Amino acid sequence: MDTLNPPRRLFPWVTGLLMAGILVVPGVYVLLTVWLALYGLWHVRGFAARVWQPSLTLGASPIWVGMAVYLAVGMGLGWWHGYEASYFEAYLPMLLAPLIVNAVVVAKPPVAMLWLGAAAGAALAGLMAMYQSLVLDVGRAGGAMNNVIMFGDLSVVLAMFTMFGWIYWGRAQKSRWLQAAFLLGTLLGLAASLLSGTKGGWLSILMLAVVFVWLAFDRWHWFKKVIVAGLVLATIVIAAFLAPPDIVVNRITIGLQGAQTWFQTGRITEGSVSIRLEKWAQAVSMIIDKPWTGWSTQGSILEIDQRLRAAGAGEGPGGFWTQTENDLLQAGIVHGLPGIASYLCLYLGIIWGFMRARQHWPNHGLWVGLASAGVVLIVLMLEFGLSVVVLGRNAFRHTMIVWAMLALAYLIVLWQQRQTGREPS
């Protein structure tokens, strides 16, 4: 039987290639989940001692609790509302999460796989975005995604992992070429987001710029860091204004005008900001009307469509409006207050778990980098969820869970190396 095991030496290459292609090759984010889960399932014997106990020792139990609550509420109410089997596919990444961790802990790939995979993915996303927007002139770049918002937001996620890789691993390698590759990957990932025209990613880009300066130059005086952070932010703003007007500047102007009009008159004048404000107002009213079990998925679609038409929103995409474009409110209208509670348990549980794990070895740079990347990943998803339904789309779900589990798995690997007296790398 052992001869049938996938060779461990191939694991980092296969995984790294899949990581690099998640935004530029259709469906690769699902293949990455399936590949890791199958590898973890093949080596599931010894899971409790190898993964479960170490994760609890590191303080990561809130991660498992958060996912368990989310699964219980979502799948329980799915059964209550009589959803079709396809509905439960949305919970596949959470169900497979332990196997994903197990795969990495078994294979023990070099940590370079995580950072270089992210850098390659961010770089490829940026190059494809430039080709689509500046050469093909398609307007907003979407990579291989069927939604430009997902492409833009996930490009920021890859840029973040690349940035953390440079700060907490790349600089220690003493290779200028490697550091240049990380810098290029980060910039191209952020460029991909800008060229996607995704408003939800702009706040994240500015936030990451400040985080980058603060972490990369941690030994500098705070005043010097403020000056550099200001210069970086100014550079990003200038780059945004140099992009094609229809992608950034015009969208900002139209969005601000739409928001002003909605607050003054309640009228919906464009398809981004004012329509979202109206959706959110209607969603709050819907949650108040059915707070305990929600409207169900189909019921919420019909109800919000009727309410938006009555408010003068006109025809939605495909002839009807389906979502609130806000993760928390969407959980509320579909599954009521229990849905909101499970959503918060999932996100805050993962954040809390990584923060607890970070305290176990606060003086080890790579350890801090992995735990911090896990926290910032979820913070980014929370920010994206302010203007799009993150947990309602496969690409977001798979990327959030898989990359969080990759960070957790590497923490467990480092902890095991420390316990055996080996020098973590």
- pLDDT tens column, 359-368: 989 888 899 9
The pLDDT value given to residue 20: 97
φ/ψ (deg, to 5) at 246: -65, -15
Handedness of CA 260, 261, 267, 269 (dihedral sign): negative
Residue 195 has pLDDT above 70, yes or no: yes
The pLDDT value given to residue 423: 58
Work out the average pLDDT over 117-134.
95
Residue 116 has pLDDT above 50, yes or no: yes
Residues 196 and 187: their CA atoms lie apart, in Å, by 14
Please write down the long-range contacts of 81-89, taking CB distance under 8 Å and 24 or more positions apart. 81/293, 81/296, 81/297, 83/296, 83/297, 87/297
What one-letter code names the amino acid at 202? Answer: W
What one-letter code names the amino acid at 237? Answer: V
Q: What's the pLDDT band for 1 if we cut at 50, 70, 90?
A: very low
- Residue among 208, 200, 202, 196 at smallest CA distance from 326: 200
Q: What's the pLDDT band for 4 if we cut at 50, 70, 90?
A: very low
Across 220-229, 380-389, 408-417, the highest mean pLDDT is recorded for: 408-417
Residue 401 has pLDDT above 60, yes or no: yes
Residues 208 and 231: their CA atoms lie apart, in Å, by 14
49-66 burial, b for 16+ CB within 10 Å, e for fewer? Answer: ebbbebbeebbbbbbbeb
Residues 167 and 112: their CA atoms lie apart, in Å, by 13
Residue 287 has pLDDT above 90, yes or no: yes
Handedness of CA 67, 102, 29, 118 (dihedral sign): positive
Residue 91 has pLDDT above 50, yes or no: yes
Residues 23 and 150: their CA atoms lie apart, in Å, by 9
The pLDDT value given to residue 328: 94
Give me Rg for the CA atoms of the chain: 22
Q: What's the chain's average pLDDT?
A: 87
If phi > 0 it is left, if psi is from -120 to 50 it is alpha, else beta; for residue 12 that is: alpha
Extended beta strands in 84-231, E state: none
Answer yes or no: are the C-beta atoms of 17 and 38 closer than 8 Å.
Answer: no
User: In Å, how far are 82, 193, 330, 358 from 297, measured between CA atoms?
Assistant: 10, 30, 9, 38
Residues 216 and 369: their CA atoms lie apart, in Å, by 11
- Distance in angstroms between the alpha carbons of the first and the last residue of the chain: 31
Residues 31 and 115: their CA atoms lie apart, in Å, by 19
Residues 170 and 200: their CA atoms lie apart, in Å, by 29
- Residue among 416, 409, 419 at smallest CA distance from 111: 409
Position with higher pLDDT, 248 vs 385? 385
The pLDDT value given to residue 275: 83
User: In Å, how far are 79, 81, 94, 234 from 76, measured between CA atoms?
Assistant: 5, 9, 15, 48
Answer yes or no: are the C-beta atoms of 150 and 387 closer than 8 Å.
Answer: no
Residues 56 and 232: their CA atoms lie apart, in Å, by 39
Work out the average pLDDT over 205-224.
74
Q: What's the pLDDT band for 86 if we cut at 50, 70, 90?
A: confident
- Tens of pLDDT, residue by residue over 305-356, are 888 888 877 766 666 677 888 999 999 999 999 999 999 999 999 999 999 9
What one-letter code names the amino acid at 17? Answer: L
Question: Look-up: residue for tokens 């953390």?
Answer: 164
Q: What's the pLDDT band for 58 if we cut at 50, 70, 90?
A: very high
The pLDDT value given to residue 222: 66
Residues 6+ apart with CB under 8 A from 125: 23, 24, 143, 151, 154, 155, 158, 188, 189, 192
Residue 219 burial (CB count, 10 A): 6
Position with higher pLDDT, 224 vs 417? 417
CA angle 151, 153, 154 (to 5 degrees): 65
Position with higher pLDDT, 119 vs 261? 119
Residue 215 has pLDDT above 50, yes or no: yes
Residues 315 and 382: their CA atoms lie apart, in Å, by 28
CA max distance for the chain: 70
Tokens of residue 161, six digits = 């992992």
Residue 150 has pLDDT above 70, yes or no: yes
The pLDDT value given to residue 263: 82
Residues 302 and 309: their CA atoms lie apart, in Å, by 11
Percent of the chain with pLDDT over 90: 56
φ/ψ (deg, to 5) at 223: -65, -40
Angle between helices 112-130 and 11-20 (to 10 degrees): 30
Percent of the chain with pLDDT over 70: 89
